[in-house]
Amino acid sequence: MGEFSKTERDGHLLVVTLNRPDVLNALHPPANRELAKVFDEFAADPELWVAILTGAGRGFCAGNDLKHQASGGDMRGQPETGFAGLTSRFDLVKPVIAAVNGVAMGGGFEIALACDLIIASEDASFALPEPRVGLAALAGGVHRLPRQIGVKNAMGMLLTGRRVSAAEGLRLGFVNEVVPKGEALAGARRWADEILACAPLSVRASKQAAYQGLEGGLREAMSGAYDELRRLVKSEDFVEGPKAFAEKRPPRWKAR
């Protein structure tokens, strides 16, 4: 257990909980550095295949800790991997699921957008309200949101700073599933179980190819060279999957 976060290992799953509930899990540089280390270790650990990120108490994350900043708190030392150690982490091939309980505002929404899936409780809400306080969503929000829901829908949020419900987020396309209040983590665990049933190297190759392929046209994407795909075809799992299917048994993935 860290000073600003909690971690729980459950087999190949890592559950990370933002743990500053007194400020709706708003983050300051020390918390961001701690989370950067958590995700560094997740990326490097061969026994961890999927992560879930959630928040303690009644909110996911209220964004940057403006009170810390306004009171003269030291804002130096932000990690290179960005807000929560995720928003500028572009080389993570393992899946991360956001289990959004309550508010995900500003940087909190940007953290969720940096995850691969968003599972939201029915009372969750999302916004990039930075323009309302003279700022801008520069931890990826202004770039990820248009890519995920289209330019016009994104501008409807970016230019107004308006708050969007979980149900509207599902309609817009940045939320994968809405679950009853209090069940965001349980819903995220269910999605994690489905991912964990798949070959981990196949999952990583799929994630890397999908994201890198968005950087160019379709022809370029389909003919591209992906490190995780090369790793997959040389792995034991590349043989194990078809063999298990032919033998009508569950596969035994080794991720190597």
List residues with catalytic annotation. Answer: 110, 130
Indicate the DSSP class of residue 256. Answer: -
Query: Positive or negative, the Cα torsion across 133, 112, 15, 29?
Result: negative
52 contact partners, CB below 8 Å, separation of at least 6: 13, 14, 15, 16, 96, 97, 98, 99, 185, 188, 189, 192
Coil, strand or helix at 106: coil
Torsion of CA 137, 138, 142, 143, to 10 degrees: -150
Query: How many of the other CB atoms lie within 10 Å of CB of 179?
Result: 21
Torsion of CA 184, 187, 191, 197, to 10 degrees: 130
